[in-house]
Amino acid sequence: MRIALLCHYPDDDTAPAGGVWAVGRNLAAGLVAAGADVHVLRYLPAPAGAAAAVVLSGQSPLTVHTVPLPRRRSQPLRRAAAVPALIEALHAIQPAAISAHESEYGLAAVRSGFPAAVTIHGIPRQEFRAFRRWRNRLDLALTVAQDWLLVRAARHLVAINDYALRQYQQRTRAQFYRINVPIGEVFFQAPERQPDPATLLMVGGMNERKDPLLLLQALALVRQAVPQVTLRIAGRPPAGPFGARVQQTIDHLDLAAHVHFLGALDQPQLAEAYAAAAVTVLSSRQETAPAVLMEAMAARRPVVATGVGGVAEIVADGRSGYVTPPGDAAGLAQRVQRLLLDPSHAASMGAAGRALAEANYRRELVGRQYLAMLRYIGVKRET
């Protein structure tokens, strides 16, 4: 079955990109393993003077079609321009069904005339509220508009958790399918090892939505009981006005010796970082289905996360980790401290998390579920 997979797509498994970029790579591999002929369709900024033609790479059963778009456009305008360009490319591919991810890809899919299922990865209107800076909100405004349009037009939507289902089911007449996101095999393949004592890991960007300031406040509290505690942060280092606030908080709380920025890590390096840390912590204000928690669980590590979005659907509270109230630094610190001071308890939680990850997030499993759904909507269209 010829499937068009519309998504952001990194060129290799070691790419540092996470989130929906990693989902695209993992889902393509899962669909191929399930027997599909996959045609990935993405857009990228074109180098100056480059030809406007679609660029093909790879070969059956996995072909990548790249639509070049002029660099001179701002990111929001580039997303708007992507929709007609993607539709044109879809008519050249002639897929039996489409799986689309992110708002501009979803809008192109539902307007193409082919059977299409759009996966909801984020809740743009909730992300909009999580940011206070006008630049972030301006960038999200177009995404919110595209999301509104595609939800009105979509006939088939994939919800990656019950939280996403609740957010959308009153806004559309589309048929819903409940399928988890896949994570990379590299996180399941990391060798078993003892974690570095008193070491925490945060994975993500330094922005308001991830709320690293809350985690730093919790770290200062943990330090009172575990003086040698260290927080490692994987992702882009602090930058801009919010980055300055992060650095000021580190200095104010006297945490400079306890916070280490690792920078952007590729997938194998990130798998090693999970295995090396005693606990992975997420302090976000807003999330939908953070793969960070799934990846840490696959690496046999307990997690502590704020109970926002679909977090409580990933973390079995008290069994594979802990879910704490958002904005509660003391509650976050208390749970982290308990795991650091009781390594055997942390190890048992890590083992439980690994079992949950095996049962829910392997890419071959998710690929089979997607292919069954796409076959169904393809047949439904024919009848």
What's the rounded mean pLDDT across residues 311-324? 98
pLDDT of residue 206: 84
**237 and 141 in one domain?**
no
- Indicate whether 175 and 192 sit together in one domain: no
Say whether both 245 and 326 belong to one domain: yes
The reported pLDDT for the residue numbered 147 is: 81
Q: Given pLDDT bands bounded at 50, 70 and 90, which one contains residue 146?
A: confident
Q: Indicate the range of 29-43, 127-141, 171-185, 252-266 predicted with least confidence.
A: 127-141
Q: What is the pLDDT of residues 71-109, one digit of tens each?
A: 755 566 777 889 999 999 999 999 999 999 988 999 999
Q: Are residues 83 and 64 in the same domain?
A: yes
Q: How confident is the model at residue 175 (pLDDT cuts 50, 70, 90)?
A: very high
CATH number of the domain where residue 241 is located: 3.40.50.2000
pLDDT score, position 45: 86
Quick one: 338 and 210 in the same domain?
yes
The predicted structure's pLDDT at residue 307? 98
Q: What average pLDDT score do residues 301-327 get?
A: 97
Q: Read off the pLDDT band of 148 (50, 70, 90).
A: confident
Q: Is the pLDDT of residue 130 over 90?
A: no
Q: Supply the range of the domain harboring residue 147.
A: 2-182+362-382
pLDDT at 142 over 90: no
Peptide bond into 61 cis (omega under 30): yes
Task: Look at residues 198, 187, 341, 189 and name the one whose alpha carbon lies nearest to residue 278.
Answer: 198
pLDDT at 134: 53
Q: What would the mean pLDDT of 222-229 be, rounded to a whole number?
A: 98
Predicted local confidence at residue 171, as pLDDT: 86
Are 118 and 18 in a shared domain? Answer: yes
Tens digit of each residue's pLDDT (9 = 90 or more) over 188-212: 998 889 999 999 999 988 888 899 9
How far is 341 from 344, CA to CA, in rounded Å?
A: 9
- The percent of residues in the chain predicted with pLDDT above 70, rounded, is 89
169 secondary structure, DSSP code: T
pLDDT exceeds 60 at position 321? yes
**Any alpha helices (H) in 112-179, and if so which ranges?**
124-130, 134-153, 162-168
Residues 216 and 199 in one domain: yes
Strands of the 55-59 sheet, one edge to the other: 55-59, 62-70, 37-46, 2-6, 97-101, 116-120, 156-159, 175-178
Q: Which pLDDT score, from 0 to 100, does residue 253 have?
A: 98
Residue 340 phi, psi (nearest 5): -70, -35
- Domains of the chain: total: 2
Q: Please compute the mean of the pLDDT values over residues 244-248 and round it to a whole number.
A: 95
Per residue in 330-361, pLDDT (tens digit) is 999 999 999 999 999 999 999 999 999 999 99
Same domain as 64, residue 143: yes
Residue recorded with tokens 């759904």: 373
Residues 340 and 267 in one domain: yes
Residues listed for the chain: 383
- Token pair listed for 103: 């708002």
Does residue 16 register a pLDDT over 60?
no
Q: What pLDDT shows up at residue 65?
A: 98
**Distance between CA atoms of 105 and 91, rounded to whole angstroms?**
14
CB-side neighbour CA atoms (13 Å) of 72: 3
- Do 321 and 302 touch, CB atoms closer than 8 A? yes
In this structure, the answer to whether residues 139 and 195 fall within a common structural domain is: no
Determine the Cα–Cα distance for residues 249 and 329; give it in Å rounded to an integer. Answer: 14
Q: Indicate if 81 and 12 belong to the same structural domain.
A: yes
Alpha helices in the chain (DSSP H): 19-33, 75-93, 103-111, 124-130, 134-153, 162-168, 186-189, 212-225, 240-252, 267-276, 291-298, 311-314, 329-341, 343-360, 363-382
Same domain, 123 and 229: no
Selection from 209, 181, 6, 203 nearest residue 89 by Cα: 6
Compute the distance between CA of residue 304 and CA of residue 214 in angstroms, rounded to an integer. Answer: 13
Q: How does pLDDT run across 56-72, given as a tens digit for each residue?
A: 999 999 999 999 988 75
